Structures are given as structure tokens and as C-alpha cells.
Chain A
Amino acid sequence: MALPSHASTLEKVWHKSYLVICGLIFLFLIAPILIVIPLSFNAEPYFTFTEKMLSFDPTGYSTRWYDLLLTFGMDQPENTRDSSWWADVWANAAWVNAAKNSVIIGFFSTLLATVLGTLAALGLSRPEMPFRRAIMAVLISPMIVPIIITATGLFFFYSMTGLANSYVGVVMAHATLGIPFVIITVTATLVGFDHSLTRAAANLGATPTTTFFKITMPLILPGVISGALFAFVTSFDEVVVVLFVAAHDQQTIPRQMWNGIREQISPAILSVATILVIISILLLTTVEILRRRSERLRGVSPQ
């Protein structure tokens, strides 16, 4: 991208300003995400940098909002912090319960989405698949249809079928929302898939099951895992369906955040946000590593 040495002054100026503009846009992208991290350590209940924070005075910082995540909703938050205090946290703290629900719902909806989605992607990537395009369009549509419409439909449907206010209902809904991601990522890994490998395995006497687990699976695994991660994040981040069809005992982290943001936007929200940002950094890293591994395995060199 470096300019050739014969570039005119105008071009040099333009190039410089172009880089500055790009820098500003990157700042626009990343700053809002990083800003919550220092603010979550604010000792004061404000959402802005206090003077003490700006002068790096340690008394301007505190972990009180992280502590609040544990104590909020507890029966006896003032007790000494022994094992029974922690038991109280585990049983009653609102954010801890929300986290439990998020993990349970996220896990099962991911499992469901990944198993069904991977099977379907295997079918869809076969050239013989009838109505391939139309079926693909239906299966991807949960990602495209506005979430409020899906949630409204589910509200009526679940009320009628008795699935409302149950874990099963939320898990099924979240699985549906995660499925497009699994299909997209798995079909993407299957694009470069060399079908002669499975034929060779069959020729050598492997049963279809053996072929699947020994040949196909290892090759598409990176795609399956990143699809699963996408599905998990989708569920982990979803609030509208939970708002419409879940009862109070299926409150998830985003649902709890929604309450918090609408009512009393305390910096405790920012400490949750910080934790979520760290989780997304970890997930992003995993997906990147998987993507590179997949490219290497399939012999597709990057670009």
C-alpha cells in the first residue's frame, strides 16, 4: 500500500488523509467497546471519567460494581463471606442465576442447532439435493426475518401449544435462530471438500459411518465448531424472544441487562458488559484459529 516514490504532493496529502480517515473509522468501531472496560471500575455511580480516574488516582477506581453482580438479589449480602455466603450467591444472586440460564439455554440450543444444522449442511452441499436453493432459503430465513416478527409468532404459537414460559420453548427458539449460522459455516467448509476422499474410503471397505467419523468429520470440524460458536453467541446475546416467551425463571444475562438498562443504568451493567467483551474476545480468537486450521487442512491457502 506504500505509495510509489514518484507520487505527487497532492497524492501524498491525499494518501495521508486517507490513512487518518481509516484510523478514525477504526476508532469509531472499537472505542465504544473498549470504553466500557475502564468505566466499569469507576468508584462513583457515573458513566463518565471522574477527575480521580483521569489522574490515575487509585481511589477513583474500585471493583464495587463487580461485587454488586454477586450481591444483587442475595438474601444476606452483608454476612461474612464464608461458604454459606457463596451458597447464597449461587442460589439467589440475580446475575448468577441469569448466567446459569444463559449457559443452559445456550448449551442446549447450540447442541440442537449444530447437530441438525451439520446434517442438513451435508445434505445441502450434495449436488443431487432436490429443491436445494428453495430449502436453503427457508433454512437461512430465521437470520433475515426481523426478530420482532419471529418473537411475535412464537408468542402466539407457544401460548397455544403450552411451550410458553418453559426452557424447552426458549431452547427451541434459540436453536432456530442459530441454525443459519451453522449451515453457512459448515457449507463453507464443504465447498473445498474433495469427495474423492470419501469414495476412496468406501473403496477401501469403510462403512458410511466410519467414513463420516474418520474422513468427513475431521475435515469439516473447524466449520462445525465455528458454526456452533456462532449459534452459542446468538443464543447468548438474544433478548427479544426471551422477552416475549420466557418466564421469570428463564431470565438470561441479556434479559437482565435489558432490565438494568431500561431502569437503573448503574455501572454494574458496565461490569457485565466488560465480562461479555472479554468472552467475545476469547470466542473471536477461537474462531480465527479454527478458520486458519481449516484452510490449512483443506489446502486452501488464504487468498
Chain B
Amino acid sequence: MSDAPADMSLMSPAQDAGRLTTKDGRPLKAALAAAEAQAKRKAFFLVLPLFLFVLITFVAPIGQLLHRSINNPGFTTHTDISSGTKTPIMVNIRDWFDANPAGTPPDEAAYEALAKDLVVLRELKAPGIVGTRINYERSGSRSLFTKTARKAAKLEPPYTEALLDIDEDWGDPQLWSVMRGASSAYTLNFYLAALDLTRDETGEIVSVNENRQVYVKLFTRTLVLSLLITFVCFVLAYPVAHLLATLPLRYSNLLMIFVLLPFWTSLLVRTTSWMVLLQSQGVVNDALVATGTIADDSRIQMMYNQTGTIIAMTHILLPFMILPLYSVMRPINPSYVRAARSLGATSWTAFRRIYFPQTIPGIGAGALLVFILAVGYYITPALVGGADGQLISNLIAFHMTKSLNWSLAAALAALLLGGVLVLYWLYDRLVGIDNLKLG
């Protein structure tokens, strides 16, 4: 910042017109280039530590998450928990899959390979894990594996009959198709599952059974609710930002507290407040009953459903809409509107044709920011959303902490991440990240 140009100040006044040189005789061009390169390096080294830090604590974890979404060794490798030793499993059946093309109906060799693998599984205590892996793609398979593995050691040839005797599901072509897919740790099937798709017995991509379709619905709901919340935020933010922008500073600074205080208050505090206000024995319902607006036995259900999610999230995200609008409206010169009025425009026309167009950049910035934040919301829907106010983030959390289908959680997260990054890129192009302002 300081010594790079110092070199330049030493420039000799006595240079010939053709080749400019510094005092010590270096060509000026080279000296300039060197100084510039040094400045570049300096700037770069200032940023480097943070960049490396973010690479480790943020980019690497997300990279690992993406890897998880396409890699699941549940059917190929067993890791012993106490010793950490990795044992390849299901090797016989994998050999059979390698030797026979997709679509080959399982023969006696296939069933024999399967029976041998099941014995190994039983010894490793792994049938539950392998079954769970297959169950992700074909419901009902977990019990099939655990049940059969229990009896695997006693199986005798012919294995086809022996296995089908235990459960005729072993003859299901779809099961074999899923096992073939899972016999390679790398798969895109979790992305299919995240889009409510699956592969049928021939490997074709088809929709899953209607009573198991969840994710597309959740993505749609997340989009619709986020759009709705963004719109409500816009409707509420516009008049307030306008008022703040047109009031004299000493008043608007004071009123600004109303916007900034929520912004600075803990998310959990604000969510709790809404629970207190909205529950059916809460302040709002009590007030409505006390004023006789509603009867005591017909209190409105405003929480543990979508309504609760929308109200609380609107409140939490509103400042993110007001602040960019305000910073765009403040510098708008009121004389334009006045000029329009004096030229005969009604106040509505003046607003619509003159004022509003000037605020569009602020609307874009605020709306994008609110929308980006809304699609990734987790805490508020989890607490006030009930069953139908849950968003896609809640489903990711569900698969992370409850169903423990981590690869599916990762695939859902990757899809959400993709969407958010596109919006982020758009924000950068339209608004510029440098223009992100706080407070």
C-alpha cells in the first residue's frame, strides 16, 4: 500500500525522451511492471490466509458433501466400527454382475453367489447395513436381507429354490436391478431419488410410486412459500422504506431502530415470540376472544402449519427487504415527482411512471436476497411449521439426523445448493456482492 509507488518517486528527471528509465537505469516499463506485480502479490498475500481458511472450513466440507451424494459404499465395503478395518463385501454377486450384462435374469450361479455373500454378511453383522442400502431404492428390502442372512448358513443347493423359499421377493427383477446398481459405490441414483425418480427392472428411469413421492412436492412448496414470503416482504417493505427515505434524517434514524432491532435480535428469540403470539392459547387469539371477534371454542390455528411459517419468516426477513429499498430510495430526488405533478400527472401516475421505476434496482436486490435466504430456511419452519409448513431444509435435516440416509440428504442438499448458487450468481451480476450492505 505504501512502498510500491515509492520506487517511482525516485525517478530521474533526466531521462531521454525515447527510453524512460528509473534513476538506477532500469527501463521504466519493467520497473512499473515489477511494481505492479509486487502490489498484486501483496494484495494476494493479504487475502491468502482467509482464502485458505475458508477453503478448509467451508469449501472442503461442501466438496465432501457432494462426494457423499454420488458415493455410497453400503453394498461394497464394510467398515468395522471398533478397528476401522474395511472388508469388501458382496464380492461374489459383484463378479456375477460383471460377467452378465444388465437385464440377465438371475440363474443358479447368481443365487449361489448371493447365498455365499449373505453368510459373510451374517459373520460381519452387516446384513442390516446392506439391507438398508438396498432399501433406499427398493422399499421392503431391509427386512429381506436381515431375515435371510439369519438363515444363510443353513442354506443348501439348489440355492434358487432355497432363497425363494425364504422369500419369493428374491425373484423380483427390480431387486436385482437395484443390487446391480448398488454393486458400484458410485451412483447417481440418489439424485434420482431426490427427484422422486427410480429405475425399473430394466434400468429405465421412472417415477416412484405415488404414495412415496415427497421431494418434488417439497421443492415446489419451498419455492412457492419463498416466493410468497418475498412478495409479502416487498408489499410491507415498500411503504415503510418510502416513509424512512422521505422523512428528515433525525426522524428516520429514530424509526430505523424499528427495522434494525429485529435485524439484530436472535432468530430463536423472534421465533419464540411468534410461538407465544400465535399459539391457540396465545396473545393474539386471547385478544381476539377478549374483543369478541371470535368465540372461545373457535380459536384460529395459526401455528404448527404453513401460516405460522409464513408469518414468522416474513417478520424475520423483512429487514433484508427494507434496507436495500431504503438505500435506493434515499438518494431519489423528489423534484422529479414534483415536476411530473406540475406537468399535470396525478399522484398515482407520477408514482407509477417516475418514482417506481427508479426504485426497481432496490426491489431486485431486496427480493433476491430475501428469496435466497428463504429457500434455505431451517430453524423457523422446524419450530413453527408443523407437518405442512416444512421446507426442503427440514427434509435434509430429517435424513441427516433421523432416517440417516446421508447420501440422499447430500443429494437433496446438492440440488438446493445448485439453485442457491444460480441465484447468488444472478445477484452478483445484477446487484454486485460489493453492494451488499448491513445496517
Direct contact of A and B (CB under 8 A): yes
Query: Chain A: residues with CB nearer than 8 A to chain B?
Result: 1, 11, 14, 18-19, 21-22, 25-26, 28-30, 32-33, 35-36, 39, 46-49, 112, 116-117, 119-120, 122-124, 126, 128-130, 133, 135-142, 144-150, 152-158, 160, 172-173, 175-176, 179, 181, 184-185, 187-188, 195, 198-199, 201-203, 206, 208, 211-212, 216, 226, 230, 233, 236-237, 239-240, 244, 254, 257-258, 261-262, 265, 269-270, 273, 276-277, 280-281, 283-284, 287-288, 291, 302-303
Which chain B residues (274-291) contact chain A, with CB distance < 8 Å? 274-277, 279, 281-283, 286
B47 in contact with A26 (CB, 8 Å) = no
Chain A residues lying within 8 Å of B400, measured Cβ to Cβ, are 152, 155, 244
B264 in contact with A32 (CB, 8 Å) = no
A176 in contact with B268 (CB, 8 Å) = no
Contact sample, A vs B, 16 pairs, CB 8 Å cutoff: A32-B277, A35-B277, A48-B283, A123-B42, A138-B51, A148-B378, A152-B396, A160-B64, A176-B53, A211-B1, A233-B264, A261-B275, A273-B272, A273-B273, A288-B260, A303-B249
A184 in contact with B50 (CB, 8 Å) = no
Which chain B residues (63-97) contact chain A, with CB distance < 8 Å? 63-65, 68
A51 to B393, CA, bound (A): 41
A148 in contact with B49 (CB, 8 Å) = no
A119 in contact with B49 (CB, 8 Å) = yes
A208 to B6, CA, bound (A): 12
Chain B residues lying within 8 Å of A117, measured Cβ to Cβ, are 50
A18 → chain B closest CB, angstroms: 6
Residue of A nearest to B397 (CB): A148
A29 → chain B closest CB, angstroms: 5
A151 to B416, CA, bound (A): 14
Residue of B nearest to A14 (CB): B347
A156 → chain B closest CB, angstroms: 5
Given the known inter-chain contacts A233-B264, A277-B269, please indicate yes or no for A29 contacting B438, CB distance below 8 A. Answer: no
A236 in contact with B266 (CB, 8 Å) = yes
Chain B residues lying within 8 Å of A144, measured Cβ to Cβ, are 372, 420, 424
Residue of A nearest to B330 (CB): A303
A58 to B64, CA, bound (A): 58
A48 to B281, CA, bound (A): 7
Residue B31, interface by CB 8 Å: no
A129 in contact with B47 (CB, 8 Å) = yes
Chain B residues lying within 8 Å of A187, measured Cβ to Cβ, are 434
A149 in contact with B62 (CB, 8 Å) = yes
B279 in contact with A47 (CB, 8 Å) = yes
A208 to B2, CA, bound (A): 6
Chain B residue total in the interface (Cβ 8 A): 98
If A156-B64, A172-B57 are given as contacts, then 16 extra A-B residue pairs at C-beta distance below 8 Å, sorted by A number, are: A1-B247, A33-B265, A47-B276, A47-B282, A129-B43, A140-B436, A150-B58, A153-B61, A156-B68, A175-B57, A176-B53, A208-B1, A254-B266, A270-B276, A287-B264, A303-B330
A264 to B50, CA, bound (A): 41
Most chain B CB within a 10 A radius of its CB, from A18, A154, A212, A244: A154
Residue B262, interface by CB 8 Å: yes
Query: Chain B: residues with CB nearer than 8 A to chain A?
Result: 1-3, 5-6, 9, 36, 39-40, 42-47, 49-51, 53-54, 56-65, 68, 236, 239-240, 243, 246-249, 255, 257-262, 264-277, 279, 281-283, 286, 315, 318-319, 330-331, 347, 372, 375-379, 383, 393, 396-397, 400, 406, 409-410, 413, 416-417, 420-421, 424, 428, 433-434, 436-439
B393 in contact with A148 (CB, 8 Å) = yes
Closest CB pairs A-B (n = 3): A146-B376, A123-B46, A153-B61
A140 to B44, CA, bound (A): 17
A131 → chain B closest CB, angstroms: 9
